[in-house]
Amino acid sequence: MTRDIDLKDGYQEIVVDDINNLNIKGRFKSDVLIRVKDCKELNIDLEVFDRGKVTLLIWNESNIETKFNENYNVDSNSTLNIAYGDLNSSNFIRNTVVNLNGKYASALVKSASLCKNKKHYSMSVNSNVPYTYGNIENYSVVLDGGNYKMDATGLIKKGAYKSESHQTSRALTFDENQVSTIIPNLIIDENDVMASHATTVGRIDDNHLVYLQSRGLTLEEVMILISTGYLLPIADFIDNEKLRMDLIQKIESMVSKECLM
In a domain, 99, yes or no: yes
- CA–CA dist 22, 2 (Å, integer): 6
The reported pTM is 0.92
The vertex-64 CA angle with 61 and 65, nearest 5°, equals 105
- CA–CA dist 143, 40 (Å, integer): 24
In a domain, 44, yes or no: yes
- CA–CA dist 111, 108 (Å, integer): 10
Please give the chain's pLDDT, 261 residues, in tens: 889 999 999 999 999 987 789 999 999 999 999 999 988 999 999 999 989 999 999 999 999 999 999 999 999 999 999 999 999 989 999 999 999 999 999 999 999 999 989 999 999 999 999 999 999 999 999 988 899 999 999 999 999 999 999 999 999 887 777 889 999 999 999 999 999 999 988 777 777 777 777 777 777 777 788 888 888 888 889 988 999 999 999 888 888 877 766
pLDDT of the residue at 183: 95
* Domain, as residue range, for 116: 2-204
In a domain, 124, yes or no: yes
- CA–CA dist 32, 13 (Å, integer): 6
- 211 CB neighbour count, 10 Å cutoff: 12
In a domain, 250, yes or no: no
| Domain tally, the chain | 1
Do you know the residue count of the chain? 261
The values of phi and psi at residue 236, to 5°, are: -95, 5
The values of phi and psi at residue 247, to 5°, are: -70, -35
In a domain, 234, yes or no: no
In a domain, 12, yes or no: yes
In a domain, 249, yes or no: no
pLDDT of the residue at 206: 72
Residues 6+ apart with CB under 8 A from 184: 152, 167, 169, 197, 199
- 97 CB-contact burial (10 Å; exposed 0-12 / middle 13-18 / buried 19+): middle
pLDDT of the residue at 260: 63
The vertex-234 CA angle with 226 and 210, nearest 5°, equals 5
pLDDT of the residue at 233: 87
In a domain, 255, yes or no: no
Q: Are 31 and 58 in contact (CB under 8 A)?
A: no
